[in-house]
Amino acid sequence: MHIFHTISDLRAHLRAHRMLGQSIGFVPTMGALHEGHLSLIAASKAQNDLTVCSIFVNPIQFNNPDDLARYPRTLDVDCAMLAPAGCDVVFAPSAEEMYPEKALLKFDFGDLERVMEGQFRPGHFNGVGIVVAKLFNIVQPDRTYFGQKDLQQVAVVRRMMIDLGFQIELHPCPTLREADGLAMSSRNRNLTAEERPIAAHIFKGLTAAKTALLTGETAEMVKAQMATHFEQQPAFRLEYFEVVNAHTLQSVDKKQPDGQTALCIAAFLGKVRLIDNFVF
């Protein structure tokens, strides 16, 4: 496995592979890797000659400096996981390499970012848009793989790819879960031993909400039940729970046709902000 820290070294390496006609799959990450990331690597390996994984904690997508400071940085451990998973190339640039000058570009994803993550993390999707567009231009992959846990991120990246005409196939991949249902996330490792079992209440709440919607309850009723569920869990601070159309991400008042309903949640458990969603 090759590890590159500069854009020029990575480009030179990938150019040689491209000239051999090899296809490139790309998994962008912020490191602190877990099985969920490895499933993206596996998906890329199944479809491409070469798999590239970027590891870059992108400062401009964090609106909260504490969250950025707390974000785990574990490059050596990450590389030790990626090599046996068959990843071919790791790109781990510094912030100076990615942003020699402050990025001035501003993305506005309209209604897609006025809700949920975009509403609670102002500027977040601008930072995601800039770094993903830049990484796409650097790596120039044929296919890219994103986790569905970040449903809104996938929607924003899809829209950016359409608007900017990126000729890259976007492959959203299913969320991987722990045995108790907690969605795998780099942030889970910041949970304390006491918090970790409580974190499963997110999955329990989503499961109950899904059942209620499938049995004909309205979004309003389900949202009220979710608020009560979290009031009974004082360790949590529910930031939002929304019933939305899975494509537009706008609120809906009842279950949508199959595959088009998404339940999206963000909650703080102690200092750790967790997000999750169900699409059905």
Strand order in the sheet with 272-279: 236-245, 261-269, 272-279
Residues 60-79 that bind ligand PAF (CB under 6 A): 61
Binding region for ligand PAF (CB under 6 A) out of 94-102, 126-134, 261-269, 271-279? 126-134
The total of other beta-carbon atoms located within 10 Å of residue 196's CB is 16
Give the contact letters, 137-176, x = binds to ligand PAF (CB under 6 A), - = no: -------------x--x-----------------------
CB of 268 to ligand PAF, least distance (A): 19
Q: Which of 93, 94, 85 is nearest to 37 (CA)?
A: 85
Q: Residue 194: phi, psi to the nearest 5? A: -75, -35
131 touches ligand PAF (CB under 6 A): yes
Question: Please, which residue, 78 or 150, has the CB nearer to ligand PAF?
Answer: 150
Question: Please, which residue, 88 or 150, has the CB nearer to ligand PAF?
Answer: 150
Binding region for ligand PAF (CB under 6 A) out of 11-19, 76-84, 127-135, 195-203? 127-135
Question: Please, which residue, 128 or 138, has the CB nearer to ligand PAF?
Answer: 128
Binding region for ligand PAF (CB under 6 A) out of 18-26, 114-122, 125-133, 249-257? 125-133
Q: Which residues pair with 264 in a beta bridge?
A: 242, 277
Question: Please, which residue, 52 or 209, has the CB nearer to ligand PAF?
Answer: 52
| Cα(267)–Cα(171) distance, integer angstroms | 27
| Cα(236)–Cα(271) distance, integer angstroms | 10
Residues 3-62 that bind ligand PAF (CB under 6 A): 28-30, 58, 61
CB of 19 to ligand PAF, least distance (A): 27
Cα-Cα-Cα-Cα dihedral sign, residues 118, 72, 188, 155: positive
Q: Please tell me whether residue 235 adopts helix, strand or coil conformation.
A: coil
Question: Please, which residue, 135 or 222, has the CB nearer to ligand PAF?
Answer: 135
CB of 97 to ligand PAF, least distance (A): 14
Q: Which of 25, 37, 75, 81 is nearest to 55 (CA)?
A: 75
CB of 28 to ligand PAF, least distance (A): 4
- Which residues, including other chains, have CB under 8 Å from residue 199's CB and lie 6 or more apart? 182, 188, 191, 269, 274
CB of 61 to ligand PAF, least distance (A): 6
The 10 Å CB-count burial string (b at 16+, else e) for 72-88 is beebeebbebbeebebb
Give yes or no: 34 in active site: no
The four Cα atoms 108, 133, 146, 35 give a dihedral, to 10 degrees, of -120
The total of other beta-carbon atoms located within 10 Å of residue 276's CB is 22
| Count of residues engaged in binding ligand PAF, rule: CB under 6 A | 10
Question: Please, which residue, 131 or 176, has the CB nearer to ligand PAF?
Answer: 131
Which residue in the list 5, 17, 37, 201 is annotated as catalytic?
Answer: 37
Binding region for ligand PAF (CB under 6 A) out of 65-73, 103-111, 128-136, 266-274? 128-136
Residues designated as active site:
37
Residues that bind ligand PAF (CB under 6 A): 28-30, 58, 61, 128, 131-132, 150, 153
